[in-house]
Amino acid sequence: MNDWEEKRKIRTILYSKWVLFLLLILIILVVKGTWNLYHKSEEARISKERVGVQINELHEREES
Protein backbone atom coordinates (compact mmCIF):
# COMPACT_ATOMS: atom_id res chain seq x y z
CA MET A 1 0.00 0.00 0.00
CA ASN A 2 1.21 3.46 -0.78
CA ASP A 3 1.76 5.93 2.00
CA TRP A 4 -1.12 8.16 0.87
CA GLU A 5 -3.49 5.18 0.64
CA GLU A 6 -2.64 4.16 4.19
CA LYS A 7 -3.21 7.71 5.45
CA ARG A 8 -6.52 7.85 3.60
CA LYS A 9 -7.62 4.56 5.17
CA ILE A 10 -6.73 5.80 8.67
CA ARG A 11 -8.46 9.12 8.03
CA THR A 12 -11.57 7.31 6.77
CA ILE A 13 -11.71 5.25 9.94
CA LEU A 14 -11.08 8.20 12.26
CA TYR A 15 -13.70 10.38 10.60
CA SER A 16 -16.34 7.67 10.45
CA LYS A 17 -19.69 8.35 12.09
CA TRP A 18 -19.16 5.69 14.77
CA VAL A 19 -15.81 7.05 15.93
CA LEU A 20 -17.13 10.60 16.00
CA PHE A 21 -20.21 9.40 17.91
CA LEU A 22 -18.02 7.63 20.48
CA LEU A 23 -15.87 10.74 20.87
CA LEU A 24 -18.99 12.83 21.40
CA ILE A 25 -20.21 10.43 24.10
CA LEU A 26 -16.79 10.55 25.77
CA ILE A 27 -16.78 14.36 25.74
CA ILE A 28 -20.28 14.46 27.21
CA LEU A 29 -19.24 12.11 30.03
CA VAL A 30 -16.15 14.17 30.82
CA VAL A 31 -18.13 17.42 30.85
CA LYS A 32 -20.80 15.87 33.08
CA GLY A 33 -18.17 14.65 35.54
CA THR A 34 -16.47 18.03 35.60
CA TRP A 35 -19.80 19.78 36.15
CA ASN A 36 -20.66 17.49 39.06
CA LEU A 37 -17.24 18.06 40.59
CA TYR A 38 -17.72 21.82 40.28
CA HIS A 39 -21.06 21.64 42.10
CA LYS A 40 -19.59 19.52 44.89
CA SER A 41 -16.75 22.00 45.37
CA GLU A 42 -19.23 24.88 45.54
CA GLU A 43 -21.30 23.04 48.15
CA ALA A 44 -18.14 22.34 50.17
CA ARG A 45 -17.11 26.01 50.00
CA ILE A 46 -20.55 27.17 51.20
CA SER A 47 -20.50 24.58 53.97
CA LYS A 48 -17.05 25.74 55.04
CA GLU A 49 -18.23 29.35 55.23
CA ARG A 50 -21.25 28.35 57.35
CA VAL A 51 -19.06 26.40 59.76
CA GLY A 52 -16.68 29.36 59.99
CA VAL A 53 -19.56 31.66 60.92
CA GLN A 54 -20.80 29.18 63.52
CA ILE A 55 -17.32 28.90 65.04
CA ASN A 56 -17.07 32.68 65.28
CA GLU A 57 -20.48 32.87 66.95
CA LEU A 58 -19.48 30.20 69.46
CA HIS A 59 -16.24 32.04 70.26
CA GLU A 60 -18.20 35.24 70.84
CA ARG A 61 -20.68 33.42 73.10
CA GLU A 62 -17.82 31.85 75.03
CA GLU A 63 -16.18 35.23 75.62
CA SER A 64 -19.39 36.82 76.88
Q: What is the radius of gyration, based on Cα positions, of the chain?
A: 26
The predicted structure's pLDDT at residue 1: 62
Least Cα distance to 18 among 8, 26, 30 occurs for 26
| N- to C-terminal Cα separation, the chain | 87
Give the whole-angstrom CA distance, residue 18 versus residue 38: 30
| Cα separation, 27 vs 13, whole angstroms | 19
pLDDT at 47: 97
- Overall pTM > 0.75: no
Query: Taking CA 37 as the corner, what is the angle to CA 34 and CA 43, rounded to the nearest 5 degrees?
Result: 145
Mean pLDDT by runs of 10 across the 64 residues of the chain is: 80 88 97 98 97 96 90
pLDDT on residue 31: 98
